[in-house]
Structure 1
């Protein structure tokens, strides 16, 4: 009797290039969440109808890949790597341990590089769960004393959780897998706390100034330099304009300020479960009642630099199977 195949532990979903594929493109007014769910479902249904016997693949790692192949198969970028600005936005999803984000980050960057056939990403922008920009929080710092008091406060719990993840982002910069770090929904207050936690004093450009206590310094070990975030991306859907205080703060700190219109909840468990049900991913594996929990989502974009043309855009999502 043949040994049954082990049940998959993870589900890896891909849309492929939604710009040049033969699949119907999403409408221009689609939200990020709608675009993701629509293109995932269309890609899965297309693969199933054209390769019904091999449209999913169980990898040795216990990950179920769907679709197993993309149509058309993702080619390498049509021009040399240096001709592109490659941007990735990584959405960490709610209700998952903070410590898991480190592996999620490494997995996401690796998969995008494989998908695009590159070895480096220009900008990795991360979006933390349940972190939303609020223009009302942008209160001018009127006194030096107030700024000094803020500098002297201990690092809060939220910032500590950011710092755990940020160390992985820095390691990707040091290993030349990404060139710049971006943060989503960080106002000036949240950003200043992170910079302080990294050891940067206000209005410095490169060198951290907050040293570790002498008792913790090991003279035989040289730590890599800290890496400042290069970009802050905020959603101005609710406030319409970027607050002046944030503009001034970002300029002082040498940080590029961008806006976006991505959905706050890019992927929910019910939304993903609906895609899985309608596509029939688990039918051939006798897992009709399997449930999925979204772990992370990445949106990647390859723009031809000298023409400002988006040549490749797509999504990758990872979920656990229970």
Structure 2
């Protein structure tokens, strides 16, 4: 088994960006495009390390990519795609100047029993990338939950029966422990409508500070949800994140041998070079470091994890 860690690096390319209202595009497009850009940049950076025939892939009519071992890094059973320059990581100012927000997506192809490992690894990578010891807010996104319908009332009603509440409560308990340890200052959830949120609040020890919902495909925030959030002092945020941020097919395309692939995985159809086996996305984490006194984003990016079950 090989664990693959993907990273976008800092996608704020031309210095800190001013905070703006989110547009209509969903974050999976930003995520996948940023991964492709980072893969290409790493391949170009390391393209001159080895000469043709000694570290480059053979001509295949598509490209002459550097071999994966040139621009990726293997650490025991973990493969970093691309390799990460940790020496250049860190923020420019003191930690107190930032508000650091993290959103962790648990993916449907991953095991709920491993979520503590996923949480710790995601936080470890973000902390190392930003050079910090804690985050201000972690919003957790569970699989199988959405907030979509022809109107807010329909979306709210459908939402009440979604997800797996037993798994969600158990995972929240893990986050509560990390909050008590000071690693996470505030906790948040995503896509919890009125009834789902009400039941959730009855079963947790630490209430979420934030409920983030996507109302792109309905209309407005349902009045009952707005009322409940106000009563419980929960902030309601909206977002445009995709409910399916990293499908298995998209991941295989990103890492495969195609024109837009990174050349890390072998194709199913032929005997091409690359790692062989079934790949299962586990989680995606999005992080943002916001400079409070200047109102700008200094660092924004993504990490993702997948498990590759190697072929014998």
- TM-score over 0.5 for the pair: yes
Find the aligned partners of 1:288 and 1:162 in 2 and give their Cα distance: 34
Instruction: Give matches, 1:76-155, under 5 Å.
Output: 76-134=90-148, 135-136=152-153, 138=156
Deviations 1:74-95 (A, max 9, x none): 4311111111110000000013
SS in 2 for 1:132: coil
Question: Does structure 1 residue 193 correspond to structure 2 residue 199?
Answer: yes
1:297 matched to which residue of 2?
284
Alpha-carbon offset, residue 312 of structure 1: 0.6
1:212 matched to which residue of 2?
none
Which of 68, 77, 80 is equivalent to 2:83? 68
Find the aligned partners of 1:234 and 1:108 in 2 and give their Cα distance: 22
Deviations 1:121-180 (A, max 9, x none): 0000011011012532647xxxxxxxxxxxxxxxx9932111110111101101111101
Find the aligned partners of 2:300 and 2:228 in 1 and give their Cα distance: 31
Question: Does structure 1 residue 19 correspond to structure 2 residue 36?
Answer: no
Note the residue ranges of structure 1 that are not aligned, 5 or more in a row.
1-7, 140-155, 199-225
Find the aligned partners of 1:129 and 1:255 in 2 and give their Cα distance: 22
When normalised by structure 1's length, the TM-score is 0.77
Alpha-carbon offset, residue 313 of structure 1: 0.5
What is the Cα-based RMSD across aligned positions, in Å?
Answer: 2.4
Instruction: Give matches, 1:1-322, under 5 Å.
Output: 9-20=2-13, 30-52=25-47, 54-60=70-76, 62-70=77-85, 74-134=88-148, 135-136=152-153, 138=156, 158-198=164-204, 226-277=205-256, 278-282=261-265, 287-322=274-309
Aligned residues: 265
Alpha-carbon offset, residue 42 of structure 1: 1.3
Alpha-carbon offset, residue 73 of structure 1: 6.2
Find the aligned partners of 1:227 and 1:128 in 2 and give their Cα distance: 18
Note the residue ranges of structure 2 that are not aligned, 5 or more in a row.
16-21, 50-69, 267-271
Q: Tell which structure's C-alpha radius of gyration is larger.
A: 1
Q: Is the 8 A contact 1:99 1:165 kept in 2?
A: no
Deviations 1:264-316 (A, max 9, x none): 11111111111101111247x95353332111001101111122211111010
When normalised by structure 2's length, the TM-score is 0.79
Find the aligned partners of 1:271 and 1:239 in 2 and give their Cα distance: 26
Find the aligned partners of 2:96 and 2:7 in 1 and give their Cα distance: 25
Q: Flag the 1:30–1:133 CA change in 2: closer, same or farther, 3 A.
A: closer
Find the aligned partners of 2:38 and 2:234 in 1 and give their Cα distance: 37
Find the aligned partners of 1:300 and 1:196 in 2 and give their Cα distance: 29
